Homo-oligomer: A and B are copies of this chain.
Amino acid sequence: MGLAKTEIFTDQQNQIAIFAKAFGHPARVAILQHLFKINACICGDLVDEIGLAQPTISQHLKELKHLGLIKGSVEGTSVCYCISPEKWTQMKTVMTQFLNQDLQDDKQCC
């Protein structure tokens, strides 16, 4: 099939999966890390920084932008990308809640 049956899961479960998928490729991880590091926005030096072709980077940026984790603003001929702090915080809340699940450690069986 290749098609996730999202309708049988809760909104929360789908949300986690959607955010996680965004980090499920090292190029997108690298892009986000670079945006954090540079702080001030950058444009196409991501192509130089990461070793992928321009259309490929552009496609990854599109996904992150579509999710809302980054914002882009046109500056002359180039485009300036940066983290969206609000969305990042929202995502962090969702993911952290999932990651911080704890098990009562006396009931393990394996």
Give me the interface of A with B, judged by CB distance under 8 Å.
4-6, 8-10, 13-14, 16-17, 20-30, 32-33, 36, 39-41, 50-52, 71-73, 80-83, 85, 91-92, 95-96, 98-105, 107-110
Contacts and interface: CB of A to CB of B under 8 A. Distances in A.
A35 B95 CA distance: 17
Q: Is the interface of A mostly helix, strand, loop or mixed?
A: mixed
A71 B21 CA distance: 23
Contact of A81 (B14, B82, B110): B110
Which of A50, A96, A108 gathers the greatest number of chain B CB atoms within 10 Å?
A108
A10 to B, nearest CB: 8
Contact of A83 (B10, B32, B71, B103): B103
A70 to B, nearest CB: 9
